[in-house]
Amino acid sequence: MTSKKLMIAVTLCLALIISALPLVSACASKPAEAPTKGPLKIGISTPTTGPAAEKGSPMGHANLDAIEYVNNELGGVDGHPVEVMWLDNSYDAAKIVTIVNAFMDEGSLMYSTASSKMMASSMEIANRAGFPGLASFSSPILYRPPQHIYGQLPDYGDDWGAFASYYMKNVWKGSGKPKMALHLLNNPTGFGARDAAKASAEKMGIEIISINEHTATTISETESLNRIKAMNPDVLYISSTPAPTALIIKNAYELGMYPGMTIGLGHASFTKALIDIAGADIVEGVHGVFPTVNWGDDVPGMAKMTEYVRKLHPKDEGNMDYITSWAQSLIMVEILRNALKNAGYDVLAKGGPEAWEAIETQGIHKLNYDVGGLHGPAVYTPGDNRLSKSLRIFQIKGGAITPITDWIDAPLIKFEEFDWFGK
């Protein structure tokens, strides 16, 4: 079944469920041949419209494309088709709460979001209910201390730590402490980097000279950058989404700040959309962190993903956000497989708290999955709700996002031990 047909099917499935929400939803296709067993239901929500659509659109495509592959070519999970309730949250905190309640009411076994903001907005109700969630992009606030929310990948705090360590070892050549300014999206995407800098900058020998926030819809950061410019920074670190990040770098370029200082980016913005929006000449030389392989890398999972993106969403090829969400869906399938094996279908078919507990204790907590090499292994470690801990440093060279380091494992930071965390 094509994604277009999926979306049509989705609207019919869910129009009576959430009539107050503009939505596109999909009951993912069943295997083309042979009878199937009962379905395994999951909820997926991405910001396909709204201020983060440049990320959410390819991520939603990838989530559903991967489930189509699982159902059509692998026969689902041991003969059980994966049934997806997919809803667009528009990067709207109020909408995601309604969506997650719908997921629970309709028997979803777990849910996923693309963004830390959407998971942060929904985690209170999910944690209270014991409904397990998986965020592609995450911030320490989502799972420190650990409860029922999990991070697919290293978080925005891990990004900052990896970049800062690389910068000190490989870029900084001056004497004394380098001066770093932070420019942060005013939600968990930015706050994770802020918290990591607050916890670790001093002991790493970095002076944080300015912490600035911006919105997802900002139209100019010239004023904030002029303030930063007056402080003569050595490095500017941005943790945001592609559109505002592109704007900030373009403003810095116009002000003569870049080239000149080093610019480092967290992984939420460091994707093909950034280059497309800002222009390759503007972002040439910018450093960034990302936790997946690059397109074309020689890993086992690359061929099938490339086949599907070319068949269903060819414009998304080359976008690393697609890799992230394709892998997210495969991880959710592996969680379902574990729980099915260890708890049995009868427990899962009922939905509700007993099924959610089984997904968590018999699925997530048993996870040890290589994700086809598309990113670091997804492994649950007690006390650490990040599933993959590996990332790499990249640099834009000749208009292409190019890896410049091997994989780096991000150490666990127990942020809840700092009295300022979460305040």
Please check whether residue 423 lies inside any domain of the structure. no
Tell me the sheet residues that pair with 336.
Answer: none
Is the same domain home to 34 and 168? Answer: no
**Residues 262, 329 within the same domain:** no
- Structurally, how many domains does the chain consist of? 2
Does residue 286 sit in the same domain as residue 304? no
For residue 69, is pLDDT > 70? yes
Contact 91, 52 (CB under 8 A): yes
Per-residue model confidence (pLDDT) at position 423? 81
Let me know the angle formed at the C-alpha of 270 by 269 and 276, rounded to the nearest 5 degrees. Answer: 85
H and E: helices and strands count for the chain? 14, 15
Residues 302 and 286 in one domain: no
**Cα 147 to Cα 379: distance, rounded to the nearest angstrom:** 16
160 and 25: one domain? no
181 and 279 assigned to the same domain = yes
CA dist 13 to 68, 83, 236, Å? 17, 11, 47
Does a structural domain hold residue 86?
yes
Please report whether residue 328 resides in a domain.
yes
The count of other CB atoms within 10 Å of the CB of residue 201 is 18
As beta bridge partners, residue 397 has 400
How many residues are present in the chain?
423
Task: Show the domain range for 331.
Answer: 3-154+297-388
The DSSP code for 360 is I
pLDDT at res. 36: 66
Residues 261 and 408 in one domain: yes
The predicted-structure confidence for 379-416, as pLDDT tens digits, reads as follows 999 999 999 999 999 999 999 999 999 999 999 999 99
Bridge partners of 135, per DSSP, are 113, 151
Q: Is 280 helix (H, G, I), strand (E, B) or coil?
A: helix
Residues 232 and 111 in one domain: no
What pLDDT digit, counting tens, does each position of 11-49 carry? 334 433 443 443 343 444 444 454 369 999 999 999 999
| Co-location of 43 and 173 in the same domain | no
Q: Which residues pair with 149 in a beta bridge?
A: 133
Rg (CA), the chain: 21
| Residue whose C-alpha is closest to residue 142's, from 193, 192, 96 | 192
- Look at residue 422 and tell me if it is in a domain: no
Give the pairing type, strands 390-397 and 400-403.
antiparallel
**Is there a domain that residue 350 lies in?**
yes
Q: Give the integer Cα–Cα distance in Å for 299 and 67.
A: 20
Asked whether residue 219 falls in the same domain as residue 245, the answer is yes
Shared domain for 135 and 227, answered yes or no, is: no
pTM attached to this predicted model: 0.87
Same domain, 129 and 204: no
CA dihedral 100, 319, 185, 113 (to 10 degrees): 10
In a domain, 327, yes or no: yes
CATH code of the domain in which 339 resides: 3.40.50.2300
